Structure 1
Amino acid sequence: MPTGVAIRDPRQQLFDAAERILLRDGANALTSRAVTAEAGVAKGVLHRHFADFDAFLAELVRERIRRLEGLGTALNESAGTGTVTGNLTGALVDLFDPVATSVVGLVIARDELRARLRAAGSAGIPLMGEAAAVLAAYLTAERDLGRIAPDADVSVLAPTLLGAAHLLHADREAGAPDRETVRRTVTAVVAGAVSA
């Protein structure tokens, strides 16, 4: 890109480029050079907005974590409506869009990225820990409404659902599972706890 040409929202342009690389080539292909080339900007643009490449990646993941807030709000608003299994299935399908699944792989693959995210308050596997909290909040709301057994351990159910759904989505070659496969998995995980 020529010097002096204004770039509209360079941070978002870089994030979008990183997501395209993750989807197309996977986490191992994600380098600062690949991101700036994909974005069509000089390498210095990334370093003007982020201290280093890991700072860029940490912000990319934090952006995905922020998106969970909307999912969590919608899921909590669904408590008491529809079926618990249906609500969880929809949330897990939405949660594990192809970019989010690739971001989880990125977090798992990069030790420095995980360390930065944990220093910023994430626990366990960043993004997955926050997603488990979203599911636990919903399951707690459903338990309070009597649609889940009063003795159901939501602190175990939530990560179990999340781990099972992640395994369904993690195979880049096979592609995303169909909704029915996710529903069957959710049904199996919550079978002993759901009363509605």
Structure 2
Amino acid sequence: MFDHRDVPIRQHAVEHLTPMARHDSRTQLVDVTLRILLERGIDAVRVDEVAAEVGVTKGSLYWHFSDRNDLIKEALIEHVRRLNEEFVEGVGSAIATADSTTDYLVRIAPFIVDPFDPQQSETRRRRLSLILEAQASPEFAPLIREAQLRSLNVYADLMRDAQTRGFLRADLDPLAVATALHAINFGSIIIDVVGEGGPSRDAWWGLMFFFIGSLFENPPESGSQ
């Protein structure tokens, strides 16, 4: 019998706060810019600081990027790409290899946001702050909108694959499911905001697995093992 408390909720593999270490100067420039964006926001990005930290000249930076805004745009695109990469790979693998609904749920558990994990909450807060700041900018809002739409469409494709494998209910719209899951990802930050006044960890996860289970063609059985 399935019990949501038996499903391991581990550190979310998707939400990298610290950029991944790479060696070529263009990627290093993007990495440093992304770190500054997440830590201090768009206004804090200074070309001199970024170039100095990477150890290149401003001329080298401008060889890769036409101007400061171009550098920031590339960092924002990379941010969204990294956030999606492991989630897409992990959930895609679960869809391809799971042999039952319960097995599928266990396999995707590490990729479900845990609002009770302080590190994840901080990562998500910074990510949301960056997206909202960029959305408020006429220069960057179209980029963020396009990146978020791409994310939703990638998630929707995963949901279509889940329907093909017989996991996700055929009567559900894949884009609507993807949007709902995305909204839970963002919106669950309220648990960190309200603290002890919010739901307990067990109550929250019980509801989440009930909700996710309701999306399945063959919901996992509830109860104790």
TM-score by length of 2: 0.59
Corresponding residue number in structure 2 for 1:159:
179
State the match for 2:35 in structure 1.
Answer: 20
Determine the C-alpha separation between the residues in 2 that align with 1:182 and 1:39. Answer: 43
- Within the alignment, does 1:78 sit opposite 2:87 as a pair? no
Kept in 1: contact 2:33–2:71 (CA 8 A): no
d(CA) in 2 for partners of 1:22 and 1:182?
Answer: 31
Does the CA-based 8 Å contact 1:165-1:182 persist in structure 2?
A: no
Q: Find runs of 4+ consecutive structure 1 residues off by over 6 angstroms.
A: 94-97, 170-174, 179-182
Separation of aligned partners in 2, 1:166 and 1:192: 21
Distance in 2, Cα, partners of 1:42 & 1:173: 42
Q: 1:71 to 1:35 in 2, by over 3 A?
A: same
Determine which structure has greater relative contact order: mean sequence separation of CA pairs < 8 Å that are 6+ residues apart, divided by chain length: 2
The answer to which of 101-110 and 165-174 deviates more is: 165-174
| CA root-mean-square deviation | 3.9
Could you tell me how far apart the structure 2 residues matched to 1:112 and 1:91 are?
32
Q: Residue 212 of structure 2 corresponds to which residue in structure 1?
A: 190
**Aligned-pair CA distance for 1:59:** 1.9
The residue type paired with residue 146 of structure 1 is G
Unpaired runs of 5+ residues, structure 2, are 1-22, 115-119, 195-200, 221-225
Note if contact 1:65-1:127 (Cα within 8 Å) is conserved in structure 2: yes
Alpha carbons 1:104, 1:128 under 8 Å: kept: no
User: Does the CA-based 8 Å contact 1:85-1:183 persist in structure 2?
Assistant: no
1:88, CA displacement in angstroms? 4.6
For normalisation by structure 1, the TM-score amounts to: 0.66
Aligned to 1:149: 169
How many residues end up aligned between the 2 structures?
178
Deviation at 1:158, TM superposition (A): 0.5
Does residue 52 of structure 1 match 2:77? no
